[in-house]
Structure 1
Amino acid sequence: MPEQPGIDAYAAYLPAYVLADNRLDATTPPRPGGPARGVAAFDEDTVTMAVEALRPVAAASPSGGQLLFATTNAPYEAKTSAGVVHEALGLDPATAAVDLRGHRSGATALDLVVRAGATAALADLRTTRPGAPDELAQGDAAVGLVGGGHAAAVLLARAGRTAEVLERWRLPGERHDRVWDERFTAEVLAAAGLDAARRALAEASLDAVDTVVVSSSNPRAAAALRRALGGDGRDATTERATGFTGAAHPGLLLAAALDEARPGQTILLLSATEGADAFVLRVGDGVRAARGGPSVRDQLAARQPLGYGRYLRWRGLLDVQGPARPAAPAPASPPMRRRAGWKYRLEASRCDACGAVTTPPGRACAACGIAATPDATGKVSLRERTARVVSVTRDHLTTMPEPEVAVVVADVDGGGRLSAYATDVAPADVTVGMAMTPTFRRLWTTDAIHNYFWKLRPAPQDAPPGKDTTDGQ
């Protein structure tokens, strides 16, 4: 356990798309000022978002600790999904990888981060039935948190309360949450939250804090708790732009608060879901350097609008005819294990003789033909490098839920060449010379096996302006 419990580093990941209109018959203008939700792309799931959230801060992860993956929507049952996150990040093999499930798992993971020095990815992908009253109030996001230090925040006090209440649930094999009428569960969650918050404040010897952050699966309970605790509503404004992001939500709202907080200020973070978890934190002196990647506000501003028809196709909620071609083959376990460095960490081989980089790694250098050495010093990871497009092909017969995708060949800065799908960009916008960066995605799923690999997305300076031109909405 760390000498002074707290958060050493954090990073938030918001998908590149936002859905603000879910009308099937868009004959009238949308309601002004309505809620919006973040939407993961068709090639994203909670594992890929967890990887993207932790990539900027994974280097700060303590060796030999724990990696926690908190979600309500893991891509595998029985199999530990955290193992894929661990492999893609290249963490120390002595670091245990553990899944935490359920709506309260995000707060549980945060507790283990601040008190036990764990590393955690809080990620969720939320899907409702089309037209559900809270369709735009549910969103997708991920947060990476690293404990073992207190550069971002120091834990002053923590209190919890468990309340068994049938509020939001899903049976095994079901896709969408079932929700009880929020009017009948708000009072239970608000009472649990208020009790936990007051006990945490008393333990910290504080009557008030500088910032109140409330996360709850029940919007009525969240509103009541903000009023009772004197919150200024900035957390509610963030939630209105992202939707409630499930297990990721307490971490996401905390990340947004840390982005704007000053060292020495105090934060009350309250998560009211299946009970309540309250944390009183003091912002650390190194909070600015502790953030990995762009702020929550900057990511919100950079999102691309998404049409409702495209969203329904991505989620598999609209059954459309695809090309008449067989599904892509499923990957096999033995080659996935043998090629784990390339598949999960994008590790190429560097020639000891001429210094050229061979992709994918092979037994001989692609430049000089000299046999490669098995020594680990011959490996080089390309996942944090920029690649520049040298050719583009637009595939109109893809089995993905898009009418076309772009396949690019790109030269990597420092050596190596990648052939990969482009993502988070319209195929027509991909041009020769464009700077792109690797991102971990799901290629496809065949025979119940998810095939993960790396795609390329535009580097921030080359990202096209937000637009959605693939359907008429």
Structure 2
Amino acid sequence: MELNPVELKENPRPMPDQPGIDAYAAHLPAYALHDNRLDATGPPRPGGPARSVAGFDEDTITLAVEALRHVAAVDPPGRQLLLATTSAPYEAKTSAAVVHAALGLAPDVVAVDLRGHRSGATALDLAIRSGAVAALADLRTTRPGAPDELAQGDAAAAFAGGGDRAAVLLGRAGHTSEVLERWRLPGERHDRVWDERFTAEILATAGLDAARRALAEASLDTVDRVVVSSSNARAAAALRRALGGSGEDAALERATGFTGTAHPGLLLAAALDTAEPGETILLLSATEGADAFVLRVGDGVRAARRGPSVHDQLAARQPLGYGRYLRWRGLLDVQGPARPAAPAPASPPMYRRAGWKYRLEGSRCGACGAVTTPPGRVCAACGIVGADDPAAKVSLRDRTARVVSVTRDHLTTMPEPDVAIVVADVDGGGRLSAYVTDVPPADVTVGMAMTPTFRRLWTTDSIHNYFWKLRPWRDTDGE
């Protein structure tokens, strides 16, 4: 669905009597790491923790796009698009602007970055109160072999405020504590962490204070579900015990790792996936202080979920070897093929061709109806000039494509021994030549159904080159 700037201006999202969540989505990458032993001589310990792992072509921008495309495609956002992360691909440039372009949002939708470990809860709060759309996305990387390497993970969650189908806000409270717990200096890649035994008590105290005040504002003594997110595992465990949590959130965290700014959103999305209308939820995020939300689940919570459930995404993940993970993260320097680096994209053509590069737009011919990709002045089917009429642009990013030919590149500069490149016919018209991701190249076959996914192709001269790849279509893509 293309968002019309005029429609957004003339038909703003109506705000409900009570602030709340109108729609939500979560995105877990396709891979999971269960073992980080360099010298493994046997299988990993059964029941051990696992971490959610983003592919080598994913970052917080692409994770946010995957979560938000479900929400923004159905519910036109308000006046702001918020991106909360601690690992933005650019320092000085606004990463939310790239997300804005990939979603094809109207120019009057303001895109804003929020940074810091607490920014996920802040973005959720702003979305609930103002009707904005928020993406909470993080990609967590530690030094190889760090004690909490498997306890960190990658994920994204998206929320559209300005409605009450998913949940209504009953109470909200915050608590700020200046404590040196997790930090990273400019130019550093990995977080530094203070001994969690010292900071756990500080965060637990802040969390209990915020939770009690939020419950008092909601005029509740107890809730049906307790969801706790904390950058400190000891604090999270203490808060769950004190607040009477069931442990479902802890079980999910053990399967994904702590996903940084995305974690409160991921845990809330998982709770909403199974909650019944009328139930109450206490969401508590204890990071650099605490943020507490008391929510009542809305009657339209089932319709409010966009995209696959968290449980379905967990079940669909592929196991990942530790060596492959280290290569993807650039933590293991391996000699690749003697091939020049891909050229860096330039600013003027990226701006002029934004419709193709970010929105995957083709041009539909007014004479024969065929779709030309990339869009051009001449129809690829009938040769009529003028096929690049702006009014005839059509986005292919939400359509299914069928593979008609497969090639494997064994000289790729990507951190993989080979990648698959396909030509695919798009349902409704258009043909794409694209890299394939999230599937072994040997498993790509002619006739396979694919769907576009926004990814990072490569980085050259400090410029990230984003475009659309194809990944295998799943049954949950139709949700």
Per-residue deviation at 1:174? 0.3
- Aligned partner of residue 128 in structure 2, secondary structure: helix
Give the distance between the partners of 1:69 and 1:63, measured in 2 at CA: 13
**Match of residue 167, structure 1, among 172, 176, 181:** 181
Structure 2 length-normalised TM = 0.95
Structure 1 partner of 2:119: 105
Match in the other structure for 2:235: 221
| 1:212-291 pair list within 5 angstroms | 212-291=226-305
Name the residue aligned to 1:470: none
Of residues 16, 39, 42, the one that matches 1:28 is 42
Cα distance change on mapping 1:404 and 1:374 into 2, 3 Å: closer
Query: Which letter maps to 1:186?
Result: A
Unaligned runs of 5+ in 2: 1-14
Q: What are the within-5 Å matches in structure 2 for residues 32-431 of structure 1? A: 32-431=46-445
Partner of 1:469: none
Count matched residues. 463
SS in 1 for 2:468: strand
Q: Any stretches of 5+ residues in structure 1 without a counterpart?
A: 464-473
Q: Is contact 1:42–1:315 with CA below 8 Å preserved after alignment?
A: yes
| Structure-2 separation of matches of 1:441 and 1:461 | 21
Deviation at 1:28, TM superposition (A): 2.9
Alpha-carbon distance in structure 1 between the residues aligned to 2:256 and 2:440: 23
Question: Structure 2 CA distance, aligned partners of 1:141 and 1:246?
Answer: 8
- 3-state SS of the aligned residue for 2:99? helix
1:375 positional shift: 3.8
Deviations along 1:69-109, one digit per CA (max 9) or x if unpaired, are: 00000000110000000000011110100000010000000
- What's the offset of the Cα at 1:32? 1.5
Question: Quick one: distance in 1 between partners of 2:476 and 2:123?
Answer: 35
AA of the residue aligned to 1:160: G
What's the CA shift string for 1:237-283, capped at 9, x where partnerless?
00000000000000000000000000000000000000000000000
RMSD: 1.2
Amino acid at match of 1:23: R
Q: Indicate conservation of the 8 Å contact 1:2/1:116, yes or no.
A: no
1:450 matched to 2:443: no
Q: Which digits, 9 at most, give the CA deviation of each residue in 1:413-433, with x for residues without a partner?
A: 111100000000000000001
Instruction: Give the CA deviation at 1:63.
Output: 4.8
Q: Distance in 1 between matches of 2:297 and 2:448?
A: 39
Kindly provide the amino acid, as one letter, of the partner of residue 91 in structure 1.
L
Offset of residue 313 of structure 1:
0.3
**Matching residue's letter, 2:323:** G
Alpha-carbon separation, structure 1, partners of 2:219 and 2:437: 50
| 8 Å CA contact retained: 1:63, 1:94 | no
Going from structure 1 to structure 2, the CA distance change for 1:78 and 1:61 (only over 3 Å counts) comes to farther
Q: In 2, are the aligned partners of 1:270 and 1:278 still within 8 Å (CA)?
A: yes
SS in 1 for 2:358: helix
Q: Distance in 1 between matches of 2:65 and 2:168?
A: 25
Matched residue type, 2:421: V
Matched, 1:460 2:474: yes
Q: Indicate the SS of the match to 1:276.
A: strand
Quote the Cα distance in structure 2 between the aligned partners of 1:249 and 1:186: 18
Contact preservation (8 Å) 1:60, 1:146? no
Contact conserved, 2:363 with 2:389, CA < 8 A, in 1?
Answer: no
Give me the whole-angstrom Cα distance separating, in 2, the residues matched to 1:255 and 1:246: 15
Question: Which residue identity lines up with residue 251 of structure 2 in the other structure?
Answer: T
Secondary structure (helix, strand or coil) at the match of 2:70 reads coil
Q: Secondary structure at the match of 2:469?
A: strand
Cα deviation code 1:279-338 (max 9, x no counterpart):
000001100000001100000000000000000000000000011011000000000000
Cα distance in 2 for partners of 1:187, 1:424 equals 41
Correspondence for 1:467: none
- The answer as to whether partners of 1:2 and 1:115 remain within 8 angstroms in 2 is no
- CA separation in 2, counterparts of 1:254 and 1:64? 22
Tell whether the 8 Å contact from 2:364 to 2:387 is kept in structure 1 after alignment. no
Aligned partners of 2:472 and 2:141: how far apart in 1? 27
Write the letter of the residue equivalent to 1:210.
D
- Partners in 2 of 1:94 and 1:390 — Cα distance? 40
- Same amino acid, percent of matched pairs: 84
| Pairwise CA distance, 1:373 | 4.8
2:293 partner amino acid? F
SS in structure 1 at match of 2:269:
helix
8 Å contact from structure 1 (residues 64, 92) kept in 2: no
Q: Distance in 1 between matches of 2:74 and 2:165?
A: 11
* Shift in Å, 1:30: 1.4
The 3 A distance-change label for structure 1 pair 437 and 356 is same
Cα distance between partner residues in 2 of 1:37 and 1:122 = 17
SS of alignment partner, residue 151 of structure 1: coil
Kept in 1: contact 2:29–2:154 (CA 8 A): yes
TM-score (norm 1): 0.97
Would the aligned equivalents of 1:434 and 1:462 in 2 still touch at CA under 8 Å?
no
Q: Which amino acid aligns with 2:309?
A: S
Give the corresponding residue for 1:436.
450
